[in-house]
Structure 1
Amino acid sequence: MDGIAKSPTHTQWTARSLDHEQTITPAGWKYRSIKLGPIRLPWYASPESQLLLVAFVCFLCPGMFNAINGLGGAGQIDNDAEASAASNSALYATFAVVGFFAGTVVNALGIRIALSFGGLGYCVYISSYLYYNHVHKDGYVIFAGALLGCCAGILWSAQGAIMMSYPTEKVKGRYISWFWIIFNLGAVIGSLGALGINFHEVDSNVPVTDGTYIAILVLTFIGACLSWTLVDAKHIIRSDGSRIILMKHPTWRSEIVGLWETLRTDVYVILLFPMFFASNWFYTYQFNGVNLPRFNVRTRALNSALYWLAQMFGALIFGFALDFPNVRRTNRAKIAWLVMFILTFAVWGGGYVFQMQYTRDHAPREYDWTDNGFIGPMFLYITYGFYDAAWQTCVYWFMGAITNNSRKLANFAGFYKGIQSAGAAIIWSLDRRRTPYMNLFASCWVLLAGSLIIALPVMLLKIKDTVPVEEDLKFTDEIIEDVMGQRMVHNPSRRSRFE
């Protein structure tokens, strides 16, 4: 237990009495807060500051990826959308494999290396479309997608572990909300940039310009560099003086055992796997089955900006609602499930009415924002974005409510992104084969509704009002017992290997 309360440089304890609580933090610039007028900013090595930095890394890397893919066909015209579908199929196929072991990689390599490596994959991916704009050969595009799958699996596992394990139980929802708002702001700005560059382009039969790809390429590279400003998890101290629960300097053997222990001790997480699978399934339909065939290039950019802006509002509303202090956490989990079930039928019911108006082979003329009748489809696309943020926020919150152990949550995040990506790889492949839009739409609706029903026992039985520290530490002890044949607490002389 002393490994949680102790600082990395000084012996540091949280002194408590009946009348007051005082936290003594270590010396050094990382633990020095800055006061700006009436506002006191958190210290650099605080969960708040680190989450903000991670959010901006994702703002510049996955955020820009979402901006370019939100245009439909990654900014290419409908006839060339197959290159995007092939690239994303490769991307999510490798992501699905890497995602299962990404938590192990992150725990072994550390947050900074993991995020930086992940960010570089986004740079290569964007550069491939700049290449494709001139050469129109998809070899490099497919390679870039496969490489990004490896990189993104590691980046998102690191991000998920930080977002779910750094905050205390009372504020996990708002941490997820803050992250999702900043992350999606990247996609909004990227989409607005594409809109500005293509503002006067009303022809549907042209791709986005080179300038769009170059600008986004530069931003993704900056995001990869920003990763190196983070501090290691062992240096993070919360405002109450508590530390992040983690095992330091793990061996590869202990990490692989930890992956197995996560499934063995928390077998009920399998009930969340269908929700993981469905969580990126609908993007392909929304981007390539709605935005690409029904809107011209500048209107697609506007729709994309509004889609990601709606995600910011969805994350804000759901993140703070999930932390509402006057309702027990067990009840909040049940209410969140019910709201998502209702939203699933409301939003996708509207989508069914719109999809009845066209097919892949017979679609009316593309909408421009000056056309009559544009408002309805635009509003539908906005609700799709809102729904996505609600879904992702709830899934992260559900996982974070199960445990506070950063190692277990890194594995949860790895499972989440791996299974999510397996689903995405399948539906991108279906799109490449020109599966009818109505079939893709129906698969989205059925998966979302069905996965909620399968996950219901987790909401009813496994989410508690609080998770005792002893329960999280027990998981770490069991891993060490399996690796070394004895418990850490029974052999203090060996603890330095893991701390």
Structure 2
Amino acid sequence: MGFSYYSALTQVIIVGFVCFLCPGMFNAVNGLGGGGQLDATAGNNANTALYSTFVVFGVLGGAIVNLCGVRWTIFGSGFTYALYSASYIYLNHKADGSFTIAAGALLGVGAGILWAAQGMIMVSYPREEEKGKYIAIFWTIFNLGGMLGGILPFAINYNSTSGSNSDGVYIAFVVLECLGSVMGLALAPPSKVTRSDGSSVVLVKYTSIGKETVGILKLFINPLMLALLPMCFTSNFFYSYQFDNINGALFNIRTRGFNNMFYWGFQMLGAYLISLLLDSKRFARKIRGFIAFGVVFVVFNAIWGGSLALHNKYPKGLELADRIDFKETHRAAGPIILYLVCGIGDALYQSFAYWIIGALSNDNLQLARYAGFYKGMQSFGAAIAWQLAAKKVSVGHQLIANWVLFGISIPSMLYVVWTIKEHSEDTHVKGDIDSDSYHADKSAEVVQGA
């Protein structure tokens, strides 16, 4: 199939660039440790507020997207990222974190909705045998944002080795995030999107508040969703440890940006490599799932083992170590390599999680709810992790918590992979979630192939 604006691939690329400019820039700010501030307290409390509201609106996000459509929900949600970045300019001048915390809470609302829309597009638009590839394409474009977000503070702060990010860094982020929000309007209505084989993404056109309410409530009695809870909870828990206690605690301000260029770059590598496995035709889908699980298991145990070795190297505490500059290769090499492996591990984990969710269904309405549930429960874990950081829980205890939670997620993750079928039963997709056509005759149906 040649290039088409209405193709599933084009739509995944567009939402990838939206996330490149909005969540990608947020990741860049967060990855600097404490939002790029010398004192991480405001950033940690803002992240707690963010993920607390994200819990609610992540779960509700799928229903909101199903009712209001992908374009306008992404458009509105994108501006909450810009407001959050702008709040750090205020923090630079007033040394008052209240605005940043409030902006974080509002961002949790926007992010929950945006990621539900993104998840629905990424895992329901491609054909079953292409889901790994589409996840990798999205993850690559999205993490280009994190790379750019690392280059900006590295370049702007190059002549500074201490302190917080300058206003110019945050202004650049605000401009890019506003552009990403507007780009959400470029998405096509799902009713017009076709897969690579020419089939339609959408079969039946409408949903309702009542259906969405029932659909959300059913998530909490769905055995597979409940089994995925530990995996969801753990999937962003490690960010506070990696961003604050490795990148933020050990390195000076310009080196944090330097590290983030490669952290997000290695995410692209990880997503690409696991996509080759997840879409491989050499193995049955369940076997691919078990092999991918084995890869994630090995890499994450290596990450936490390496983190333990790093922790033992600084017995007085990572946060008390002299700040490292990237030019001090004898000190910087080991921690930087560990941080880059953390980037690969994150991409492997997230790609695997989305692939599992995509393997459970082809129904775009249901996948919007699944994606929202995943992001909501993920945010529940992240809110707790960031509050542990804000309360100055010791780095050693944070490391233990991360490793134990990963261990707890293993049995249920294996169980869900065991239930995966070679083909999802609901291959006929139910529901046009775009509000532009919502007021048409609700008895109408689209009879194209799914």
TM bracket (short chain): over 0.9
Q: Mapping of 1:256-405 within 5 angstroms?
A: 256-264=213-221, 266-358=222-314, 359-360=316-317, 363-371=320-328, 372-405=330-363
Q: Mapping of 1:142-291 within 5 angstroms?
A: 142-202=101-161, 204=162, 206-245=163-202, 247-264=204-221, 266-291=222-247
- Give unpaired runs (5+ residues) of structure 2: 432-440
Q: Is the contact between residue 108 and residue 251 of structure 1 (CA under 8 Å) also seen in structure 2?
A: yes
Deviation at 1:139, TM superposition (A): 1.4
Once residues 246 and 311 of structure 1 are traced to their aligned partners in structure 2, the CA distance between those partners, rounded to angstroms, is 35
Structure 1 residues 459 and 148: alpha-carbon distance in aligned structure 2, compared to 1, 3 A threshold: same
Structure 1 residues 306 and 290: alpha-carbon distance in aligned structure 2, compared to 1, 3 A threshold: same
2:413 is the counterpart of 1:452: no
Q: Is the contact between residue 89 and residue 428 of structure 1 (CA under 8 Å) also seen in structure 2?
A: yes
Structure 1 residues 246 and 69: alpha-carbon distance in aligned structure 2, compared to 1, 3 A threshold: farther
2:13 is the counterpart of 1:70: no
- Give unpaired runs (5+ residues) of structure 1: 1-39, 477-492
Choose 244-253 or 296-305, whichever is displaced more.
244-253
Q: Is the contact between residue 161 and residue 406 of structure 1 (CA under 8 Å) also seen in structure 2?
A: yes
Deviation at 1:345, TM superposition (A): 1.4
| Equivalence for 2:438 | none
Give the secondary-structure state (helix, strand or coil) at the position aligned to 2:331: coil
Once residues 336 and 239 of structure 1 are traced to their aligned partners in structure 2, the CA distance between those partners, rounded to angstroms, is 25
Once residues 149 and 301 of structure 2 are traced to their aligned partners in structure 1, the CA distance between those partners, rounded to angstroms, is 30
| Equivalence for 1:138 | 97
Q: Equivalent pairs: percent with the same residue?
A: 41
Once residues 362 and 387 of structure 1 are traced to their aligned partners in structure 2, the CA distance between those partners, rounded to angstroms, is 23
| Equivalence for 1:61 | 22
Q: Which has the higher contact order (CA 8 A, sep 6+)?
A: 2
Deviation at 1:250, TM superposition (A): 1.8
Once residues 382 and 362 of structure 1 are traced to their aligned partners in structure 2, the CA distance between those partners, rounded to angstroms, is 19
| Equivalence for 2:379 | 421
- TM-superposition CA deviations, 1:46-89 (whole Å, max 9, x none): 10110000000000000000011111111100xx2100011110
Amino acid corresponding to residue 256 of structure 2 in structure 1: R
For the aligned residues, what is the CA RMSD?
Answer: 1.8
2:91 is the counterpart of 1:126: no
Give the secondary-structure state (helix, strand or coil) at the position aligned to 1:87: helix
Once residues 368 and 121 of structure 2 are traced to their aligned partners in structure 1, the CA distance between those partners, rounded to angstroms, is 8
Amino acid corresponding to residue 286 of structure 1 in structure 2: Q
Find the partner of 2:13 among 41, 44, 52: 52
Name the TM-score, length of structure 2 as normaliser: 0.93
Q: Is the contact between residue 344 and residue 449 of structure 1 (CA under 8 Å) also seen in structure 2?
A: no
Structure 1 residues 351 and 362: alpha-carbon distance in aligned structure 2, compared to 1, 3 A threshold: closer
Once residues 142 and 61 of structure 1 are traced to their aligned partners in structure 2, the CA distance between those partners, rounded to angstroms, is 18
- TM-superposition CA deviations, 1:164-185 (whole Å, max 9, x none): 0000000000100000010000
| Equivalence for 1:94 | 53
- TM-superposition CA deviations, 1:449-476 (whole Å, max 9, x none): 220222211111x101111346x66x88
Amino acid corresponding to residue 3 of structure 2 in structure 1: P
Q: Is the contact between residue 126 and residue 196 of structure 2 (CA under 8 Å) also seen in structure 1?
A: no
2:436 is the counterpart of 1:495: no
Once residues 498 and 432 of structure 1 are traced to their aligned partners in structure 2, the CA distance between those partners, rounded to angstroms, is 51
Amino acid corresponding to residue 92 of structure 1 in structure 2: Y
Q: Is the contact between residue 165 and residue 406 of structure 1 (CA under 8 Å) also seen in structure 2?
A: yes
Once residues 46 and 289 of structure 2 are traced to their aligned partners in structure 1, the CA distance between those partners, rounded to angstroms, is 37
- TM-superposition CA deviations, 1:246-303 (whole Å, max 9, x none): 6423221111122234455x42221111111001100001111111111111111111
Deviation at 1:362, TM superposition (A): 6.3
Once residues 25 and 310 of structure 2 are traced to their aligned partners in structure 1, the CA distance between those partners, rounded to angstroms, is 28
Once residues 144 and 469 of structure 1 are traced to their aligned partners in structure 2, the CA distance between those partners, rounded to angstroms, is 40
Name the TM-score, length of structure 1 as normaliser: 0.84
Q: Mapping of 1:23-34 within 5 angstroms?
A: none
Once residues 114 and 241 of structure 1 are traced to their aligned partners in structure 2, the CA distance between those partners, rounded to angstroms, is 27
Amino acid corresponding to residue 407 of structure 2 in structure 1: A
| Equivalence for 1:440 | 398
Once residues 319 and 351 of structure 2 are traced to their aligned partners in structure 1, the CA distance between those partners, rounded to angstroms, is 36
How many aligned positions are there?
436
Deviation at 1:388, TM superposition (A): 0.4
- TM-superposition CA deviations, 1:166-206 (whole Å, max 9, x none): 0000000010000001000001011111100011112x2x1
